[in-house]
Amino acid sequence: MEIHGILLDIEGTTTPIQFVHDVLFSYIRQHLEEYLFTNSRNKEVQEILRALKHEHDDDIRTNSPAPGWTAEPVAYLNWLMDEDRKSTALKALQGKIWYDGYRDGKLRGQVFPDVPAALQRWKQQRLDVRIFSSGSELSQRLLFGSTAYGDLTPFLNGYFDTKVGPKIDPGSYRTIAGAFQLPPEKIVFVSDVTKELDAARSSGTLTLLCRRPGNPMQVVHGHQPISSFDEIPC
């Protein structure tokens, strides 16, 4: 395949799923209440909470089993995380909490060992490498900016989050190809989730199914499997 652009998923692709769940999400659960208390006068936080309150109202209207919204909606936010809800407002709040954690050195991004070398190789080949993850753009930058291999953000040209659309919607990949200024068939999307790859393929984007230790089994569905970025044919 002739590839000019590479689009990478994070969780289960560049980064162990375990890191996202055991480190990042447990950090949020440990610090959520304190963060909301300390930042209750922060305008951005207030705006995020307004968006989340709307989401809560919708949940109640549709009879979902969401916990009530109290003065500090920690129970509801924990519930959204339990549900793995792809809420843009929730992701924005998480990004802000992680920002403090990375800044204070309590968090450090993790990537698989083949990732930094591949990023370096692709930079030399002048390939355009970007990220598409449901985590907010800020949290993506923080992760890649703080790895044991150093700051990897100079190797990345862009970050897409759920603001561009869901990862299982072909339209998201068409929008992303537009941002790359490349036809979809010149871009390869690497992800561990078959449904996301199916959506990317519907848009014309090339696909590779990433299999990493700790990933749940996925049906292959015609997507070429790889277990390391060394196997990416470019």
Please tell me whether residue 9 binds Mg ion under the rule CB under 5 A: yes
Please tell me whether residue 5 binds Mg ion under the rule CB under 5 A: no
> Within positions 155 to 184, which residues make up the interface with Mg ion, using CB under 5 A?
none
> Measured from the CB of residue 11, what is the shortest distance to Mg ion in angstroms?
4
> Measured from the CB of residue 225, what is the shortest distance to Mg ion in angstroms?
14
Sequence-ordered list of residues with C-beta below 8 angstroms from that of 138, at least 6 positions apart, any chain: 92, 95, 96, 98, 99
Please tell me whether residue 137 binds Mg ion under the rule CB under 5 A: no
Contact with Mg ion (CB under 5 A): which of 11, 128, 137, 161? 11
Please tell me whether residue 192 binds Mg ion under the rule CB under 5 A: yes
Cβ atoms of residues 49 and 73 within 8 Å: yes
Measured distance CA(166)–CA(174) in Å, rounded: 12
Contact with Mg ion (CB under 5 A): which of 6, 7, 8, 12? 12
What length is written for the chain?
Answer: 234
Count residues near Mg ion (CB under 5 A): 4
CB hemisphere CA count around 32 (13 angstroms) = 22
Beta-sheet strand order (sheet of 128-132): 158-160, 128-132, 5-8, 187-191, 206-210, 224-226
Nearer to Mg ion, 138 or 210 (CB): 210
Q: Binding residues for Mg ion, per CB under 5 A?
A: 9, 11-12, 192
